[in-house]
Amino acid sequence: MTRTRTDADAGAGDRLALAVLVQYRMTTTEQMHQIIAPKVRIEQTRRRLAKLSAEGLVDRITLPQAGRTRVWFATAYGVQTAAEWPELRGRRPPKLVSDPVAARLRVSHTLTVTETGLQFLLDARRRGETCRPLDFLPEVHHPIGGGEAVIPDALVYYQRGSRNGDGGSMLRAFLEVDRATMGPERLAAKLRAYARLHQYAPIPVGRRGRRGTVETVQEEWRRHYPLFPRLLFVLDGTGPAGFDSRVRALHAADVDLSVALFLREVTVLAAPMTDLLQHGPAAAVWHPVRHPGRRAGWMDPTDAVDVP
């Protein structure tokens, strides 16, 4: 009986590791260990990844410039195997990292996004709240019409704790991670895209109301979320001056009326990655884009964040 239970636990761990790689795209060995099994020795995670690699489900590259860090990703066979699992069913297939060369071309940004998600998981564990490994979803597709789409670096689901033990409120946030690879203007352009997503309401072809009028339709995002998720910009690869210039560019984008309306209805915050790593996402490390001189926690109520 003991051996059967142990085998079942090992199988569940293998399944979670593969699901994480399919969903997150890439992790280092250390990141994977912190995501799925932080209470055991890291050697167990190394053995698990080696086993999945021997089965052809995952592959890896080695980063010589980072102390020969191993970076893992799911193979085409691994993605195919996990695609029909209930925990991943209905998700848009990831952009496949088909080989080590492709992995190296995407590794820096992808690992930074993974590290950002890991910080939310660690914060939830410290606070006794809920953010599970598969509550972090990279690259969720949101159409905005004309064949265009908004694809956040990630969407995070986070359930706050409740002192009454009846479950806390569910929070959702879009994450955009910038490693100083784009100028402030291009970063601010993302706000205009999110403003479009906030307003976008597709009109179904052929659906007409009485007397030929078009039926009222709701915004597309309401099909997926009861409230529009908060928008969090995590800025990395720049010092304080670079961070300030990027936040100023985000703030200046409200000259566009649609952006100004969006900022009044949706909490939009920005934080340096260094502060996130040092203090955790729940700390007051976030700068409201409407009031950049202030600091707030990402879970603070909207009316508190918007007080000048």
Which of 3-7, 49-53, 252-256, 284-288 shows the lowest mean pLDDT across its residues? 3-7
Is 139 in the same domain as 271? Answer: yes
Strand partners, 170: 159
Is 149 in the same domain as 264? Answer: yes
Residue 111 lies in a domain: no
Give the domain extent around 38. 1-104
Q: How many domains does the chain have?
A: 2
Q: Please tell me what DSSP assigns to residue 89.
A: T
pLDDT at 163 over 50: no
pLDDT at 95: 66
Cβ contact 115:234 at 8 Å: no
Strand partners, 176: 233
Boundary of a domain, candidates 68, 88, 104 = 104
Strand, coil or helix: what is 259? Answer: helix
Choose between 69 and 95: higher pLDDT.
69
Helix residue ranges per DSSP H, the chain: 2-24, 29-36, 42-54, 76-82, 100-127, 184-199, 240-252, 257-265, 273-279, 302-305
Task: Give the confidence band of 59 by pLDDT, cuts at 50, 70, 90.
Answer: very high
